[in-house]
Structure 1
Amino acid sequence: MSANLATILTASAGRHPDRVALKLDDADFSYALLDEAAARVAAMLKAKGVEPGDRVGIMLPNVPYFPVAYYGVLRAGGVVVPMNVLLKGREAGFYLSDPQAKLLFAWHDFADAARQGAEAAGAELVLVKPGEIEGIIFEHEPDPEVAERADDDTAVILYTSGTTGTPKGAELTHSNMRRNAEASVALFGLAEDVVVLGALPLFHSFGQTCGMNATILAGGCLTLIPRFEPAKALEIIQRDHVTVFEGVPTMYNAMLHLDGREQYDTSSLKVCASGGAALPVELLHGFEAAFGCKVLEGYGLSETSPVASFNHPDRERKAGSIGTPIEGVEMKVVDESDDEVAPGEVGEIVIRGHNVMKGYWGRPDATEEVMRGGWFHTGDMAKVDEDGYFFIVDRKKDLIIRGGYNVYPREIEEVLYEHPAVREAAVVAVPHPELGEEVGAAVVLKDGEDVDEDAIRAYVKENVAAYKYPRHVWFVDELPKGPTGKILKREIEAPDVESAGSQDG
């Protein structure tokens, strides 16, 4: 049997074709319909010259067209490159040109950025517009074949930026993705009667593996929200009798503190999973008390497919902990010499197992750097207690986590440096009560230049996704530097919000 990840759909469709696989508001999509649509997409891609191993971008929100395109690409033997729908043209161009993508499926609302990116990369653009795309897809007869793929063939390339700047594409194999989906099914107790709330972006590893792939593998129903709003989420939980909710801490916070949340019947909820950022213990306890369900916190990265560790439903759960490694995965905490540290001591988390990526696309040096000694080095600092539970104590040195989304300062600094009035800039995290962290920028202007914070902010906003641009901009005469001239970010202090040119947008 082929190792192709698309077989999780064909197998479930074979077992119960009439069961609902996807819901979006009042629209239901059976397994048979999802499987047939994916088979037609595969036929379309083959007709356009897409061959096994070719890369195809998917820039779609949480709508049924995403899994249709995703499993269609895999079925044809292609490699999926998921892309954030908020990317601007220059960013989309990189995400397509770096993996030499042949084609891009993009949502019609983001046509301008998608077109700019596709043209820059020489990729064919297929705009996905409801009422029109169906005609394009249904011109092609369903292709019954599922391309033969090996366990270690690449299925998905997930782009992740390091603090070194340029985004790197983590190559995740069919085995990586399938086994992580299997682990998620076991962790959250997913079965054919499960209803999972699809609130996490499907282009993100958490939503893709734990939400979409795990639900399809289990033969359950994924009910989608294109854009998360707490009232809408609670409405869907009540309407569809959702049993599993997966989200980032900001989602939990928004639902817990929504006025009138008591009016929704959420008694169907059994298990909730949190990841993407640390879940405050107070929030965990408050959510459980209000909703009467168990919240499990875990940890992972794009490079680990993503799940590496979790608090397990059948074991002791420790609030504030990311739990213990999932089955088949090893984790330890090491010092700078890669020697394991004693319990309670802080070191870097390293991981090995079936979940670790094949490597970074076209970046052998970067791959070698993070895979020293056969262990993936996460850059995240943690400690382990005497029971083997891991506790994150610090994030990657410069990473900003804004509402569960990773923002990498170097990428924003590159744009700031392109502004003609900017001499130097450093992007740092500014604490935020709801989002956890907000993006801040300390800027040194060139002599004789005179621009204000709004102009700088607007310039960056034009060139990066909406969640990345700095809401706080302030000007300084000099940035603190070490003896080699390196900017010392730890010495940069953001002024208070009122004087920082803050914007809530």
Structure 2
Amino acid sequence: MNLAALPDLRAGRNPRAACLADDGVVLDNGRFAQTVRCAAGALAARGVSAGDVVAVMLPNISTFVVALFAAWRLGATVTPVNPALVPSEAGYQVSDAGARVLIIDNAGTDGAEAAAPRVLTARELTDHPPAAGPAADPAGDALALLIYTSGTTGKPKGVMLDHANVAAMCAMMIEAMRLTDADHSLLVLPLFHANGIMAGTLSPLLAGGQVTIAGRFSPTTFFDRVEASRATYFSAVPAIYTMLADLPPQVRPDTSSVRFGVCGAAPASVELLEKFQSRYGIPLIEGYGLSEGTCASTINPLDGVRKPGTVGLPLPGQAVRVVDAAGDPLPAGQAGEVLIAGPTVMRGYLNRPEETAKTIVDGWLHTGDIGRLDADGYLTLVDRAKDMIIRGGENIYPKEIEGVIYRLPEVAEAAVVGRPSAVYGEEPVLFVALNSGAELNVDAIAEHARKNLSKYKLPMVITICDELPKNPIGKIDKPALRKSLQSAATSTA
């Protein structure tokens, strides 16, 4: 499966068939292939060739997908950059990935632009004569994507996914979701996420279907897009399904075209799944995965027994194991760390061999998530990685926020924990203790955070304490802080 040649292949088969659309652009197969060749020409003119890295910092627009295939056409690697990152965060990723070119929507993202040798706007990318010659045919172990994920040390890590990883992931999704050339994906998740790229874009395109990019999600207009596009499926996070399930009763959309919806990125309650399905008649299939596994590792079967509350069975070609602290497999029903093996396991973290060696052991990806398998092989997630907060599908690592707060000289201790949110599932809250004699108010801390963190990472509440609780070995006792939040919520209920 040569992903780089897919635009040409689709155009050769049926140039007039629908391919890709967004809020303002509609591309058939022929036009899509031509646009990709023009973008490849623009990248080549800026010195991009096989082995280089192209950073794509675009919102959810068709040009993102064009840039992806244009880079692959030249044999280059793509690192998607979240447009919501502050300049220092985006600049770090561009620099760490060693990007030769940064593609942006419009000029003005200072930090990221300064870190890139060359910058291209979305308009400049497609306003260029087409590249000559056929698409590259990258080897399976050639790097296709560098997906950045936050680490417990606070610095994001580049997850190296090669073309074999991506091809295997798409093949598994096509089989599991029964995708054909009649399918139409409505993309509402961010394209800088593995899910948006794999489940929402590449899999339907490889199956011969089409993709409509919905742009910024809005619960009030979502079903208008469903009706207008006649989409057959979409993938979303529990926060989105919660907003849709809570729409006013008079909202009664035509969902007859939709075969199913995929729910992932964070645990969803059985009540939410049943509420959404009973209201709209759309089956929801829960899945589980992470960037280090290319996207997904388990999914409830589309045709077969779906067990609400579980994240389903391993995708075809993958294996899931639950082990104890010694690494020994546990029997059904017992909780332990979830391990994953198969052709979708990443090559490793960019320039981080020690962390790679800790994460991939004897071919098994150690997820850090706690779960249990039932007698039928369905996986239930019991807990997440120790401290990670999932806010509306976005992974937030407390140490990254804490690292920013510790830059304030008045701060002696900082701790971030998650508290429940009816809309987003969870949200970060910050506890701070000051150095003796220091003076600092909540507003000053909040302003410092706004300057250095993306909006979704900002603490919802900041509490200044005389001191933070400690466990017997002197470390900050985060379980005690979580309990204090629960107690406060109970007392105000």
TM-score by length of structure 2 reads 0.95
In 1: Cα distance, 2:363 partner to 2:448 partner:
42
Which of 431, 455, 462 matches 1:466?
A: 455
Q: Where in structure 2 are the equivalents of 1:352-501 lying within 5 Å?
A: 352-493=341-482
Measured after TM superposition, the shift of residue 457 of structure 1 is: 1.7
Measured after TM superposition, the shift of residue 328 of structure 1 is: 0.7
Residues 357-388 of structure 1, C-alpha deviations (whole Å, 9 max, x = no match): 01111111011001122211000000011111
Instruction: Note if 1:175 corresponds to 2:169.
Output: no
In 2: Cα distance, 1:379 partner to 1:415 partner:
24
Q: Which residue of 2 aligns with 1:96?
A: 94
Instruction: Note if 1:127 corresponds to 2:135.
Output: no
Cα contact 1:472–1:497 (8 A) shared by 2: no
Q: Which residue of 1 aligns with 2:47?
A: 49
Cα contact 2:419–2:485 (8 A) shared by 1: no
Unaligned runs of 5+ in 1: 501-505
SS class of match (1:492): helix
Q: Which residue of 1 aligns with 2:64?
A: 66
Moved more, 158-167 or 68-77: 158-167
SS class of match (1:479): coil
Which of 75, 78, 90 matches 1:77?
A: 75
Which of 248, 265, 270 matches 1:259?
A: 248
Cα pair distance change 1:94/1:494, threshold 3 Å: farther
Cα contact 1:96–1:123 (8 A) shared by 2: no
Q: Where in structure 2 are the equivalents of 1:259-338 lying within 5 Å?
A: 259-260=248-249, 262-338=251-327
In 1: Cα distance, 2:399 partner to 2:6 partner:
38
SS class of match (1:164): coil
Paired residues, what number? 489
In 1: Cα distance, 2:276 partner to 2:250 partner:
11
Give the residue type in structure 2 aligned to 1:36. Q
Which of 11, 26, 29 matches 1:31?
A: 29
In 2: Cα distance, 1:11 partner to 1:333 partner:
41
Give the residue type in structure 1 aligned to 2:204. T
In 2: Cα distance, 1:233 partner to 1:10 partner:
32
In 1: Cα distance, 2:470 partner to 2:34 partner:
59
Measured after TM superposition, the shift of residue 127 of structure 1 is: 2.3
Cα pair distance change 1:496/1:341, threshold 3 Å: closer
Give the residue type in structure 1 aligned to 2:388. L
State the Cα RMSD in Å.
Answer: 1.8
Q: Which residue of 2 aligns with 1:503?
A: none
Cα contact 1:40–1:143 (8 A) shared by 2: no
In 2: Cα distance, 1:375 partner to 1:493 partner:
32
Cα contact 2:7–2:36 (8 A) shared by 1: no
SS class of match (2:471): coil
Which of 110, 130, 139 matches 1:115?
A: 110
In 2: Cα distance, 1:61 partner to 1:187 partner:
28
Measured after TM superposition, the shift of residue 192 of structure 1 is: 1.4
Measured after TM superposition, the shift of residue 260 of structure 1 is: 4.9
Residues 277-303 of structure 1, C-alpha deviations (whole Å, 9 max, x = no match): 011110101111111121100000001
Cα contact 1:39–1:144 (8 A) shared by 2: no
Cα contact 1:43–1:76 (8 A) shared by 2: no
Residues 404-461 of structure 1, C-alpha deviations (whole Å, 9 max, x = no match): 1001111111111112322210111011111110111111122333332232122112
In 2: Cα distance, 1:234 partner to 1:330 partner:
36
Q: Where in structure 2 are the equivalents of 1:189-204 lying within 5 Å?
A: 189-204=178-193
Moved more, 158-167 or 208-217: 158-167
Q: Which residue of 2 aligns with 1:105?
A: 103
Q: Which residue of 2 aligns with 1:151?
A: 140
Q: Which residue of 1 aligns with 2:203?
A: 214
Measured after TM superposition, the shift of residue 49 of structure 1 is: 1.1
Cα pair distance change 1:494/1:466, threshold 3 Å: farther
TM-score by length of structure 1 reads 0.93
Over the matched positions of the two proteins, sequence identity in percent amounts to: 37
Cα contact 1:42–1:143 (8 A) shared by 2: no
In 2: Cα distance, 1:150 partner to 1:424 partner:
49
Cα pair distance change 1:493/1:309, threshold 3 Å: closer
Instruction: Note if 1:339 corresponds to 2:328.
Output: yes
SS class of match (1:449): coil
